[in-house]
Amino acid sequence: MDYSARLLRSFPVSTGTLCVEFELLTPGFSFRAGQASLFSFPPEFPLADKSRIFSLCSAPSELPTVSIATRLTSGSLFKEALAKSRPGQMFLIGEATGEFVIPEEARPKTLVFLAGGIGITPFRSMIRESRYRKNSPFRILLLTVNRSRADTPFLSECEAWMKERTALWIPVLTQEGLPPAGSRQERIEEGLSRILDMAGVESLLYLSGPPAMVDAFHQILLGQFLVEEPRIKSEMFYGYLAH
């Protein structure tokens, strides 16, 4: 089933990344933090390729408002139209799907979220939900990988989570913040090493972002840190080409 929604507002959350908020008008939509939905312009909208899948980056407790965030990749007619859309523009939102969610049981207690760039979106939903519920049984550790602070989506929110201890946050900046100097790979490995030390071997590791970044995390975790496959859950943002 599709749910009607109206665009409320959109605003940048880092260089070239837009967050878009919608108000659901059709009752009955529900989702678990971390899930994704198909977002479509209505059938009469003059665009051939009308739909994209996005992770919901707002929390279920914020319904009937839902938000997404996306990198405005050049050449995407869908994203051009999205960026030009004004408040009041109607959209259709499909049922939320996916297993990239927090476990039902509070075991293991520590969750490690590894976000490559825009891959922070499902984690923002999970962290906002856990912040809202206050009594979350989980300890959340978040590692974000971006080129620079300006490129880091939801930077000020990450800082606030860190400050109020909702999540322990390690930002890896691959083209900023010397010393220590190091290649992109070295910086990512250093960040992973710190976060895995803090997390312990009982933790569950969540990987999210464009496929190239998720693959890179995955290979490092298995190859360098000898993490066992069942501890890893991945969400690949298919549709993003290799970067």
Instruction: Give the footprint of ligand FAD on this chain (CB under 6 A).
Output: 36, 49, 52-55, 68-71, 73, 76, 78-79, 98, 118, 121, 235, 237-240
Single-letter amino acid, residue 238: Y
Rounded to an integer, what distance in angstroms lies between the CA atom of residue 80 and that of residue 84?
6
CB of 243 to ligand FAD, least distance (A): 11
3-state secondary structure of 93: strand
């109607």: which residue's tokens? 90
Strands 204-209 and 2-14 turn out to be: unpaired
- Min separation Cβ 98 and ligand FAD, Å: 6
Residue 71 CB, shortest distance to ligand FAD, in Å, is 5
CB of 55 to ligand FAD, least distance (A): 4
Place of tokens 């996005």: 54
| Residue closer to ligand FAD (CB basis): 24 or 83 | 83
Q: Return d(Cα 77, Cα 52) in angstroms, integer.
A: 11
Task: Give the residue with the Cβ less far from ligand FAD, 121 or 130.
Answer: 121
Which of 153/171 has CB closer to ligand FAD? Answer: 153
Say if CB 145 and CB 177 are below 8 A apart: no
Distance of closest approach, residue 82 Cβ to ligand FAD, in angstroms: 9
Contact 167, 127 (CB under 8 A): yes
- Longest distance between any two alpha carbons in the chain, whole Å: 54
Q: Collapsing DSSP states into helix, strand and coil, what is residue 114?
A: strand
Nearer to ligand FAD, 84 or 165 (CB): 84
Complex with ligand FAD: residue 96 or 199, whichever CB lies closer: 96
Q: Choose between 100 and 199: whose C-beta lies nearer to ligand FAD.
A: 100
Please state the φ and ψ torsions of residue 34, each to the nearest 5 degrees: 110, -15
CB of 105 to ligand FAD, least distance (A): 24
Shortest reach from residue 96's CB to ligand FAD, in Å = 10
Instruction: List the beta strands (DSSP E) in 15-99.
Output: 17-24, 36-40, 51-55, 65-71, 90-94
Give the nearer residue to ligand FAD in terms of CB position, either 196 or 236: 236
